[in-house]
Amino acid sequence: MRDHAEVVVIGAGIMGLSIAYHLARLGVRDITVVDKSYLCGGASGRNGGGIRAQWSSEANVRLMQESIRMCQDFASEFKINVWLRQGGYLFIARTEERRRALEASCKLQRECGLSTRMLTAREAQKIVPELSMDNLVAASFNPDDGVVFPWPFVWGFAQAATKLGAEIATFTDVVGIDVRGGKIEGVRVRRASKGGDAGGAGAPEHLIRTRKIVNAAGAWSPEIAKLVGVELPNKPHRHEICSTEPLKPWLKPLVADLENGLYFSQSTRGEIVGGIGQHRVPEGLDQNSSFAFLGLYAKALVATCPLLGKVKVLRQWSGCYDLTPDGNPIVGGVDAIEHFYQASGFMGHGFMMAPVMGKLIAEHIARETHLPLFDRWNLRRFTDGSPLHAEAMIIG
């Protein structure tokens, strides 16, 4: 690895790699990205690949409009197929309260230029004929939302960043960050075993001298921040997903129910891929799977789409959401440490926001651009008593 880097990015998920790529495009050289695991080992390789502009806050709608445009151009620009399928997102409502919330979000989205429209229960069933009408009150639908295959999205950013001179060091643990007088002097790393564990006392430390660090470690971000005495309020939350045997193509949109966090879509190979919100999960960084999830998901899935009652589940996995107290990300610098930039707390939708957020964060670092959004999402809001209104359209 390099002995010196202009910027060290901690976390080789899609957020960290997008930041590295856009930094390199802006002419920043000597960029090193380090990750304790393999590419796609964290949340970026463990999600459902959804990308949508249906949100309840204008900031998220505007950001995702741009991110979706970038996703549409990704295959041609990065020369890798991400299997983008824009079949839309169908959010279903089972109560009048949820219908009113969807209507408010739909109104905002249309004011931002989206094609979102409210549907009656019968109109929703025309889009997905297999949908159960039991307790179905209404739905919202945006045809431009869609799904990608997560892994090539990550690989595409990694390959493009490397071609522009960035260095990516996987299986590399960050064991310390040297700070003097509130200024970063370097990052100490140690090669990890292929199992992802630290190489042990015998593995030598390597010092990368740098003045700038981006903390893009997702659910592991609080652990990194503690190395410089910064407390992040983020909490990891295990979210499970499963995939079924392949079926003939029949489901175009991703179907989501904000009431219980259920969502499911059909992959290009015909599998039904989905998950559901769980409140009772082990605390901490846990990526194991459970039978409790399968029972909860199966019951909700079959109630929503009865024809899936006999489908076989082939595999199951989990990853960690990165939750903040007010349901909004933590982005930008911190007051205590100069050039210690944050890019975490995206509440499970960091994957879809990474293209546009990587670009904005890179511009903020390389060109020192000032963005009001970064002031709103700054860490200090939790200490000065100004938390934000929570985003209402978070699945899971």
Same domain flag for 313 and 331: no
**Residues of the domain holding 287:** 86-144+235-323
Q: Is residue 343 part of a domain?
A: yes
The pLDDT of residue 202 is 62
**Residue 95 within any structural domain of the chain:** yes
Residues 138 and 179 in one domain: no
State how many domains the chain has: 2
Give the residue from 250, 254, 253 showing the smallest Cα distance to 307.
250
Whether residue 317 is found in the same domain as residue 333: no
b/e sequence 28-67, b meaning 16+ C-beta within 10 Å: bebbbbbbbbebbbbbbbbbbbbbbbbbbbebbbbbbbbb
User: Are 140 and 278 part of one and the same domain?
Assistant: yes
Is 81 within the bounds of a domain? no
Q: How many residues does the chain have?
A: 396
CATH of the domain at 264: 3.30.9.10
The Cα 7–Cα 161 span in angstroms is 13
Instruction: Convert the pLDDT of each residue in 356-370 to its tens digit.
Output: 999 999 999 999 988
For 193, the token pair is 């075993």
Q: Are residues 258 and 223 in the same domain?
A: no
d(CA 29, CA 206): 20
- Local confidence band at 388 (pLDDT 50, 70, 90 cut-offs): confident
Per-residue pLDDT of 110-146, as tens digits, reads: 999 999 999 999 999 999 999 999 999 999 999 999 9
- Please check whether residues 175 and 230 belong to one and the same domain: yes
Per-residue confidence (pLDDT) for residue 280, from 0 to 100: 86
If DSSP codes are grouped into helix, strand and coil, which group holds residue 342?
Answer: strand
Separation between Cα atoms, residue 122 and residue 382, nearest integer Å: 44
Assess if residue 65 is contained within a domain.
no
> Is the domain of 255 the same as that of 215?
no
Of all residues in the chain, the percent with pLDDT exceeding 70 is 97
> Same domain, yes or no, for 257 and 306?
yes
Whether 174 and 243 share a structural domain: no
pLDDT score at 200 = 53
Q: Is residue 389 included in any domain, yes or no?
A: no
What are the residues facing 340 on neighbouring strands? 213
pLDDT digits (tens, 9 = 90+) for 209-248: 999 999 999 999 999 999 999 999 999 999 999 999 999 9
Distance CA 305, CA 63 (A): 32
221/344 Cα distance (integer angstroms):
7
Task: Name 183's bridge partners.
Answer: 180, 338
Residue 318 shares a structural domain with residue 338? no
395 part of a folded domain: no
Residue where a domain stops, chosen among 282, 305, 323:
323
- Give domain status of residue 311, yes or no: yes
Q: Write the DSSP assignment of 167-193 as a string of letters.
A: EEE-SEEEEEEEEETTEEEEEEEEEBP
Residue 62 lies in a domain: no
- The 8-class DSSP code of residue 43 comes to G
Give helix 14-25 / helix 350-366 axis angle, nearest 10°: 30
Q: Verify that 211 and 333 share a domain, yes or no.
A: yes
Task: Give strand pairing partners of 34.
Answer: 10, 169
- 333-347 pLDDT, tens digit per residue, is 999 999 999 999 999
Same domain, 138 and 283: yes
Give the pLDDT confidence score for residue 180 in this predicted structure: 97
Mean pLDDT for 382-388 is: 86
From CA 189, how far away is CA 208, in angstroms rounded? 8
CATH of residue 343's domain is 3.50.50.60
CB under 8 Å to 148, separation ≥6 — which residues?
49, 51, 71, 74, 82, 83, 84, 85
Task: Tell me what pLDDT residue 195 has.
Answer: 54
Tell me, what's the pLDDT at 230?
A: 98
Angle (CA) 349 232 318, round 5°? 40
pLDDT at 390 over 90: no
Find all residues with CB under 8 Å of 129, minimum gap 6, and list them: none
Asked which of 298, 323, 348 is the last residue of a domain, the reply is 323
Q: Determine what percent of the chain is predicted with pLDDT higher than 90.
A: 90
| Cα dihedral sign, 337-340-341-343 | negative
